[in-house]
Chains A and B, each alone.
Chain A
Amino acid sequence: MTRWAMVADLRRCVGCQTCTASCRQANATPPEVQWRRVLDMEVGEYPAVKRAFVPVGCMHCDEPPCMHVCPSTATKKRADGIVTIDYDLCIGCSYCAVACPYQARYKTDRASFAYGIATPSEEQGFDPKRLAVATKCTFCVERIDAGLAKGLKPGIDPEATPACVNSCITQTLSFGDIEDPRSNVSQLLAENQTFRMHEELGTGPGFYYIWDKKDGEKT
């Protein structure tokens, strides 16, 4: 069985937002909609201040609250763990948006473009089906499916890998099958200490954050 997941190494992220830009280009999201965001978080008081850049978005949960509350069954979870939205079924009630503890969902009521009029690239990517319904990160599911159909390996072959992962300049983001013990993400999880966001809520996010090496591997 396959379970696609993403791993973000917080020690590596420099907050360049290339993943955000890449996602926006690949998925043609409108202004102010960022399916892949990078939070700039600070903690402490001067001079003992620490800073972390934290990529966030849809966590593709094992128990997605958005799916359970969705009255139209527009939100579904595939067998491989990817949470999807059927834009033809969604009624745009935003119940999923208030149910998501990760603020990963967006609803745009009317078409909007970065410079007022659609650029050729925006025109090409514009999808009226996405207006007035819920949208979110898809893990670039079309790339994954198309890649798999060609015999490629998501997370390894760029053509089958989410755009944000491909674009990451520091290799903060990794993508792969956590059910495969030999996969890149399984190895990262085995070698490092990780956490998942708001794990106490029982959503089982498919997005892991590396924060340190495992004790035995510290130098």
Chain B
Amino acid sequence: MSYGPKPWHQTNWDFRAAFNFMFGSAGAGLLVAAALSGASGNALRAEMLLGMALIGAGLVSVWFEIGRPLRAMNVGFNPFTSWMTRESYAAGLVFALGLAAAGFASQPLALAAAFAALVFAYCQGRILQAAKGIPAWRVPALIWLVLTTALAEGAGLFVALAAVFDAPARGALAYVSLALIARAFAWSIYRGGAAKIALRAALAVLDRSGKILIQFGTIAPLALLLAAWFAPDAARILVLLAGIAALATGWQFKFVLITRAAYNQGFALPHLPVRGTR
């Protein structure tokens, strides 16, 4: 049975919140990719600073959305149950370790910052999953989709940047390939979970976005990376395109997830009132 009024799209979080998830995960993923790449010197510095700048841009974006921006520090008051508080702590740790890593061009510190960035991305997944009012968000598998999307976006950005300056190392190409496959796998599991609880309207939107994620965000970049393997002359441009595709499709998915697929729970009566004759 279905009862009205029908669920409607949430109006509380808009593109500014979406930017936090888009920039935050790309920044976190870039920090991980940079740390794992073994980059050193100015290359490490630049990548760490760019990753932190992206995370910072996401947080600034969401700061513009909150009603009382001057009280923003209150976000840190509930580490016991709120994933938003934990995200803010993780962000603090990322900036502290990331700045130290950039300052000293230190690989161990970069690895520590990458771990904090992973925690940050995980917190972002948990933030969405804890929103019980939005069926498409409270799917448990969304946590892993957000995490793998962060890795794929960051890896995409990393190889794209690397391709601008030089031919990326094969290890980096293998890493981005794995991240893309993991993201596609996580999408498939998430879609299965969403089918059980999300609204049809939300599923329709997610499917369109998921199709882009798979076709242009997984198959196309993997094909480009494979082509780059066999065509060294065109490798840099092919890798650049693959990286951009990995990043852009992840961002479009997050944007859709927050601003298009977030239908609320609506209301439902398991029983209708029994009045008069039975």
Contact = CB atoms under 8 A, between A and B. Distances in A.
**Real complex partners, A and B?**
yes
Interface stretch (A69-77, A136-144, A159-167, A183-191): A69-77
Interface string B249-278: 000000000000010110111111111001
B77 A69 contact: no
B24 to A, nearest CB: 15
A184 B186 CA distance: 51
A133 B82 contact: no
Given A73-B78, A99-B131, A132-B67, A94 B12 contact: yes
Interface in A27-55: 39-43, 50, 52, 54
A26 interface: no
Interface stretch (A111-119, A148-156, A193-201): A193-201
A69 B268 contact: no
B268 A65 contact: no
A56 B265 CA distance: 14
Interface in B209-244: none
Interface in A57-90: 65, 67-74, 89-90
Nearest to B87: A71
Contacts, number: 159
B272 A42 contact: no
A40 B269 CA distance: 12
B84 interface: yes
Nearest to A8: B273
Interface in A91-105: 91-95, 97-103
Nearest to A108: B67
A96 to B, nearest CB: 9
Contact of A203 (B3, B132, B262): B132
Contact of B66 (A9, A39, A91, A209): A91
A90 B5 CA distance: 30
B38 interface: no
A109 B132 CA distance: 24
B133 A99 contact: yes
A73 B5 CA distance: 32
Interface size class of A (residues with CB under 8 A): 35 or more
Interface string B64-79: 0111110110111110
Contacts of B127: 69, 95
Contact of B77 (A41, A56, A73, A131): A73
B260 to A, nearest CB: 14
Contact of A65 (B72, B74, B132): B132
B264 A89 contact: no
Contacts of B83: 69
A101 B274 contact: no
A3 interface: no
A132 B64 CA distance: 12
B274 A69 contact: no
Contact of A198 (B74, B78, B82, B268): B268
Nearest to B69: A91
Given A50-B272, A98-B133, A107-B67, A89 B265 contact: no
28 contacts: A10-B272, A39-B4, A41-B3, A52-B273, A65-B130, A65-B133, A70-B82, A71-B85, A72-B77, A73-B74, A73-B78, A91-B66, A93-B84, A94-B12, A94-B65, A95-B131, A98-B12, A98-B137, A98-B262, A98-B264, A99-B133, A101-B132, A107-B12, A132-B68, A193-B271, A197-B268, A203-B132, A212-B274
Interface of B: 1-5, 10, 12-13, 62, 65-69, 71-72, 74-78, 81-85, 88, 127, 130-134, 137, 262, 264-265, 267-275, 278
